Chains A and B, each alone.
Chain A
Amino acid sequence: MIQDTIAAISTAVGEGGIAVIRISGPQAVDSAYAIFKSATDIREAATHTVHYGHIADPRTGEVVEEVLLTVMRGPRSFTAEDVVEISTHGGYISVKKVLDLVLQQQDVRAAEPGEFTKRAFLNGRIDLAQAEAVIDLIRSKSDRAFSIALKQVDGKLSRQIKTLRGEVIELLAHIEVNIDYPEHDVEEMTSSYIREQCNKVITQVDRLLKTADEGKILREGITTAIIGRPNVGKSSLLNALAQDNKAIVTDIPGTTRDVIEEFVTVGGIPLKLLDTAGIRETTDLVEQIGVERSRNALNDADLILLVLNNHEQLNKDELELMELLKGRQVIIIVNKTDLENQLEMDRLEQLYPPEAIVKMSVLAEQGLESLEAAISSLFFSGLLETADMTYVSNARHIALLKQSKQSLFDAIEATNSGIPIDIIQIDVRTAWEQLGEIIGDSAGDSLIDQIFSQFCLGK
């Protein structure tokens, strides 16, 4: 376990400044070297040195990001292992592109929650008293990660992965039966059969990867709902966010129009703005929320922007709504500060901490920075981590899908060069395990079960 190399974004991804991707483990330097274009060969670099260069996709040569890269060799590093830290220009999209490339390198995997700290402890870098804290960290974070994983495991992706694995294991069982029951009258395993089956699975993996590319950004944003009563300035806010922050994607093809409205980045943090009924003007606020779809959208949201009118007093609907949103991540936007204050600010301040209340005038283009700051601070404090976690496991999924595809290619390659089936089996099995890692299932006995359920064997 300590032998593999792990990587993760080790700073909260925020606006402006820099973001750091940390890689730790025996492959840290080699994997960084593979994607780092620079005048210096970092494999030869002394410990605790900083190098300037570019991160580029080793297959296409495409430059992704200009970075500073720090090499720290074990045991003089945080984890006491070889550590490479890549400092990038903070923007969420570019950071994750870099992380993506790192995770595609051999023997590098996404760090589990708390894993850098755990390694630091196991390697004797952290004080004894911190052991319990580390345990708590692993358990609490992994429980959270588990619930996130479950969210995905229940989904379409996991069903498709299961189907794919089903096909791979059928092929595996076929190969195994040929090996373990050589005299049985089961169908002889031919190279053309193996090729055919592998190709079939590769096609499906490709299809999955394609949707992953299209849907990637969507899944990675912080799901955000803008709500408020009519004419409070929601649409203007949406437009302001979209224009000022250069919407990366609008009207994404293939997505359901009634769920996604806009995808924007605010200070480098991607927001997926949900189309609640409130955005499309309706007259009655309670009715808006009563709409099933809009309620779902609210439930799905990681962040809720509740827009209020500075020029009017709080009404009954708004008070009900605040009650409904208790315990959720809410930013109150007091809009129209260019008009005279009629809103009961003291009442609001009793209900919400000051950092959750943003005064602005969308029309006068005032206060947008405050909103960005409020969102960033939520993000930095880790309260909006959900989206981040989902992203990491997604990058992991994509990496694993690509690896499994490569393993299947290796199997075909081996078949073509006349390698015996028990050796081809190694590649096929690897593919099966890689797919299993996506859904957290690597149970070894299922192969044996498959063999006995699929074939009639016995003396």
Chain B
Amino acid sequence: MSYEAGQYDVIVIGAGHAGCEAALASARMGCETLLLTINLDMVAFMPCNPSIGGPAKGHVVREIDALGGEMGRNIDKTFIQMRMLNTGKGPAVHALRAQADKFLYQHTMKQTIEETDKLTLRQGMVEELIVEDGVVIGVITKSQAVYRAKTVVLTTGTYLRGKIIMGELIYDSGPNNQQPSVKLSESLRQLGFQLARFKTGTPPRVHKDSIDFSQTEIQPGDENPKFFSYETQYSENEQLPCWLTYTSEETLRVINDNIHRSPLFSGAIEGTGPRYCPSIEDKVVRFADKPKHQIFLEPEGRNTSEYYVQGLSTSMPEDVQLSILRSIPGLEKVEMMRTGYAIEYDAVVPTQLWPTLETKIVPGLFTAGQINGTSGYEEAAGQGIIAGINAACKVLGKEPVIVSRSQGYIGVMIDDLVTKGTNDPYRLLTSRAEYRLLLRHDNADLRLTPTGYEIGLINDERYARFLAKKQFVEREIERLKETKIKADGEAQQMLADLGSTALQHSTDALSLLRRPEVTYAHLEPFIDAPAELTEEMKEQVEIQVKYAGYIEKQLLQVERLAKMEKKRIPLDIDYMDVNGIASEAKQKLSDIRPLSIGQASRIAGVTPADISILLVYLEHYNRVVAARG
């Protein structure tokens, strides 16, 4: 017998990285929010690598934080190692990467959720969406509880019809042997959603005491770690190292000898796997001439002996996995604690979504994370916060939030997904962004904190701090313009030490800072820096000055394209009616229903001529509408 279990504004189904951000955003915006999960012990669980960040992914964490999300704060509280990557490259691609204490990470997130007002965390498996007049109005769980809501966010990760594959062993399962969600997938299909079948995988875990670390290289964390959240000032977390080793010739031999037992090559796996995260057997087959592959050994937490074997994702049978592990220097006597596996799952074809992450078929229903064909905790969380914000906006009658491609990696990702779709699990890369120099790790707050403040996820106090920082930076740049540096002994000596050209006559500090080899720190003895300027602000000044030329170039491009993005396409346009557009393009446009000419122009198969004709048609259309009054 079903029973009425409660009425909410927003229901979030799934408490992974997407679900947590969605639920927190919605509740913090003032909506009564219910977060349902199959297993309460799996909140914010990391079923794969115990790490967060890296190029593009770390940028997303900064963006989530700038919008008022939780992932950055949570990892800052729970990291066991922090490293800034790409420091030898330009500021746009500096990328923070943390190793997490994965147990602490999930417990801390769970606690935050439990303590958040208006947010209810409940265990329960949703089996059906209640849809009335085409609009979602609630969900029914396996235990027959009926929860009603105005909007529903689906963040099902890899649970939808999940299937674990380990060599010849294949069984229905969610990640890490959790119960899979079978009926919900059926419910979606019946509503008319087109589903895709994707695959991902995870490597085996091994016992720390069985590793011979003397055969590996140590990979320590940074001495002065930076943090993900703009709010984190310091942390006294003691850092743990990771360890690097390589596969051996023996590893290649073991894999090649057993390749016939790999489900990847026997045809047992039907789902499409991620290209960027191939299993070790895939790497060995596809890159046969590569003699060895990197293997990183990463602790899974402070209070555990489990180590994650990065680089060894595999769906080989258990006995082969052990042989592979033991062929690796340092792991000759290793004890395998968990077996690696591949997992297949259902995903929603993401072109069925609006850029708000609301589905086109069922108004009020939003999806975020792996269900949308992405992979990675950060990608999931980035969509989660946007889906949560927009689910709440819909309830509150507010304008939805769409992050543009020039505003954040979150925008790049969502635009890619809803405009182009994806053929394999989508991972963010910095190379997917056309305005990489604008989407820096350091300026996520400048890009998104005003939005976070506007929707109520950033409080007044934090916003005031943000504005002050912005102002200090602008003022300091102005001041440097006015500050003269004399061509005297000390300055010349400083330049000579840096291998920089000597000054002919006195010059302003700004011009000197533009030289690639001169940093703000070098100039400090000469410019009498204001005391209130923090290291973070100095960094900001330096970047904005040094790369001004390139930044301006990209801003100009953005400005040009902005016109196209601002040209809205009315939702009731019937593309089949538009004379002259090629039929393939008509079909694509009808399917995607782009919101702007900019988005339309990014659809594969839509040519510039089609866009021209669409522009002319729109002008015609608008004049007709205007004429009708």
* A interface residues (Cβ-Cβ under 8 A, vs B): 1-4, 112, 115, 118, 121-122, 128, 131-132, 134-136, 138-139, 142, 146, 176, 178-185, 417-423, 425-426, 443-445, 447-448, 451-452, 456-459
Chain B stretch 229-288: residues in CB contact (< 8 A) with chain A: 275-279, 282-283, 286-287
Q: Determine whether the beta carbon of B437 is less than 8 Å from that of A458.
A: no
Do B294 and A423 touch across chains, with their CB atoms under 8 A apart? no
The answer on a CB contact under 8 Å between B620 and A179 is no
Bound-state Cα–Cα, A419 to B203, Å: 38
Known: A456-B290, A459-B49, A459-B313. Contact between A180 and B613, CB under 8 A?
A: no
Residues of chain B contacted by A444 (CB below 8 angstroms): 434
Q: Does B189 contact A (CB under 8 A)?
A: no
Which residues of B have CB within 8 Å of A2? Answer: 563
Check B89 against A456 for contact (C-beta < 8 Å). no
CB distance from B67 to the nearest CB of A (A): 23
| Bound Cα distance A234, B553 (Å) | 59
- The docked-state distance in angstroms from the alpha carbon of A419 to that of B294 is 29
Most B CB within 10 A of own CB, among A139, A182, A419: A182
B611 pairs with A458, CB closer than 8 A? no
The answer to whether B89 and A121 touch across the interface, beta carbons within 8 angstroms, is no
B615 interfacial contact with A, CB 8 Å: yes
Bound together, the chains give a CA A444 to CA B516 distance in angstroms of 30
What is the bound-complex CA distance between A180 and B95, given in angstroms? 9
B533 at the binding interface (Cβ < 8 Å):
no
B90 near A135 (CB under 8 angstroms)?
Answer: no
Give the chain B neighbours of A176 by CB distance below 8 A.
Answer: 429-431
CB-CB nearest in chain B for A1: B564
Q: Are A180 and B619 in contact (CB under 8 A)?
A: no
B550 beta carbon closer than 8 Å to chain A: yes
**Inter-chain contact A421/B89, CB cutoff 8 Å:** yes
Q: Which B residues are in CB contact (< 8 Å) with A146?
A: 609
Name the residue on B nearest A449 (C-beta).
B275
Q: How far is the CB of A432 from chain B (nearest CB, A)?
A: 12
Q: What residues of A have a CB within 8 angstroms of the CB of B616 in the complex?
A: 118, 121-122, 131, 134-135, 138
**Measured CA separation A236–B188 after assembly (Å):** 80
Residues of the A chain whose Cβ atoms lie less than 8 Å from the Cβ of B579? 132, 135-136
Could you write out 11 A-B pairs with CB less than 8 Å apart? A135-B613, A138-B612, A179-B86, A180-B431, A420-B88, A420-B90, A422-B90, A422-B93, A423-B547, A458-B278, A459-B313
Contact, CB under 8 Å: B516 / A418: yes
- Pick the contact of A180: B56, B203, B287 (CB < 8 A): B56
CB proximity to A under 8 Å, residues B39-90? 48-49, 54-56, 85-86, 88-90
Residue of B nearest to A455 (CB): B287
Bound CA–CA A426/B612 (angstroms): 28
The 5 closest A-B pairs by CB, nearest first: A420-B90, A456-B287, A142-B609, A131-B620, A139-B580
Known: A426-B437, A456-B293, A458-B276; 19 extra A-B contacts, CB below 8 A, are A1-B612, A2-B563, A4-B560, A121-B619, A132-B620, A135-B616, A138-B616, A139-B609, A139-B613, A180-B55, A180-B56, A180-B429, A419-B90, A419-B516, A422-B92, A422-B437, A448-B429, A457-B276, A459-B311
A123 closest partner in B (C-beta):
B619
Tell me whether B608 is interfacial, beta carbon within 8 Å. yes
* Contact assessment for A122 and B90 in the assembled complex, using a CB-CB cutoff below 8 Å: no
Known: A112-B608, A422-B90, A423-B90. A138 touches B276 (CB 8 A): no
Residues of B in contact, count (CB < 8 Å) = 63
Per-residue 0/1 for B89-113: is the Cβ within 8 Å of any A Cβ (1 yes, 0 no)? 1101101000000000000000000
Closest to A173 in B: B431
Tell me which of A136, A184, A419 contacts B580 (CB under 8 A): A136
By the criterion CB–CB under 8 Å, are A184 and B294 in contact?
yes
Closest-CB distance, B362 to chain A (whole angstroms): 29
Q: Which of A122, A128, A132, A179 has the most chain B CB atoms inside 10 A of its CB?
A: A179
Q: Please, which residue of chain B has its CB at the minimum distance from the CB of A133? A: B616
Per-residue CB contact flags for chain B residues 323-347 toward chain A (1 = under 8 Å, else 0) read 0000000000000000000000000
Q: Is the CB of B516 within 8 A of A135?
A: no
- Residues 205-242 of chain B, each 1 if its beta carbon lies under 8 Å from chain A, else 0: 00000000000000000000000000000000000000
Residues of B within 8 A of A181 (CB): 55
| B544 beta carbon closer than 8 Å to chain A | no
Q: Which residues of B contact A (CB under 8 A)?
A: 48-49, 54-56, 85-86, 88-90, 92-93, 95, 203, 275-279, 282-283, 286-287, 290, 293-294, 296, 310-311, 313, 420, 429-432, 434, 436-437, 516-517, 547, 550, 553-554, 560, 563-564, 579-580, 597, 604, 608-609, 611-613, 615-617, 619-620, 623-624
* A100 and B443 alpha carbons, distance in the complex (Å): 42
Q: Are A456 and B286 in contact, with the CB atoms below 8 A? A: yes
Task: State whether A1 and B85 are in contact (beta carbons under 8 Å apart), knowing that A421-B90, A447-B431, A459-B277 are contacts in the complex.
Answer: no
B560 and A3 contact, CB distance less than 8 A: yes
Chain A residues with CB below 8 A from B609, complex form: 112, 138-139, 142, 146
Evaluate contact between A135 and B580: CB separation under 8 angstroms: yes
Q: What is the CA–CA distance of A92 and B532 in the complex, to the nearest angstrom? A: 67
How far does the Cβ of B371 sit from chain A's closest Cβ, in whole Å?
21
Write the chain B residue with the least CB distance to A26: B560
Residue of chain B at shortest CB distance from A424: B90
Listed residue (A1, A4, A112, A459) with the most chain B CB atoms within 10 angstroms of its CB: A459
- In the bound complex, how far is the Cα of B293 from the Cα of A457, in angstroms? 9
Could you tell me if B580 and A179 are in contact, using CB atoms closer than 8 angstroms?
no
Closest A residue, CB atoms, query B309: A459
**How far, in angstroms, from A176 to B88 measured CA to CA in the complex?**
14
The answer for the CA separation of A445 and B279 in the assembled complex, in Å, is 23
What residue in chain A is nearest B627 (Cβ atoms)? Answer: A128
Which residues of the partner chain B approach A423 to less than 8 Å between Cβ atoms?
A: 90, 92, 437, 547, 550
Return A161 CB to nearest CB of chain B, in Å.
19
B296 / chain A contacts, CB cutoff of 8 Å:
183
Query: Which A residues are in CB contact (< 8 Å) with B290?
Result: 456
Q: Which residue of chain B has the shortest Cβ distance to A184 in the bound complex?
A: B294
Q: Is A459 a contact partner of B612 (Cβ separation < 8 A)? A: no
Question: How far is the CB of A404 from the nearest CB of chain B, in Å?
Answer: 16
- Minimal beta-carbon separation of A117 from chain B (angstroms): 10
Question: When the two chains form their complex, are residues B613 and A138 in contact, meaning their CB atoms are under 8 A apart?
Answer: yes
> Are A452 and B86 touching (Cβ within 8 A)?
no
Q: Assuming the A-B contacts A139-B580, A142-B609, A456-B293, are A422 and B85 also in contact, with contact meaning beta carbons closer than 8 angstroms in the complex?
A: no
Return the chain A residue nearest B293 by Cβ.
Answer: A456
* Complex CA distance for A138 and B608, rounded to whole angstroms: 10
Given contacts A185-B294, A448-B429, contact A458 B283 (CB under 8 A): yes
Complex Cα–Cα for A138 and B614 (A): 11
Separation in Å of the B164 CB from the closest CB of chain A?
18
Asked, given contacts A179-B86, A426-B550, whether A128 binds B431 with beta carbons under 8 Å apart, the answer is no
Q: Which residue, of B56, B278, B580, has the highest number of chain A Cβ atoms within 10 A?
A: B580
Chain B residue nearest to A442 in the complex (CB): B608
A92 to B258, CA, bound (A): 71
Contact yes or no, A179 B430, CB < 8 A:
yes
B96 to chain A, nearest CB (A): 12
Please, which residues of chain B bring their CB within 8 A of the CB of A418?
A: 516-517
Decide if B430 touches A180 in the complex (CB within 8 Å): yes
Asked if B89 and A422 sit within 8 Å, CB to CB, the answer is yes
Asked whether, in the complex, the Cβ of A417 is within 8 Å of the Cβ of B612, the reply is: no
B620 to chain A: closest CB distance in Å?
4
Nearest chain B residue, comparing its CB with the CB of A454:
B287
CA distance A458 to B427 in the complex (A): 11
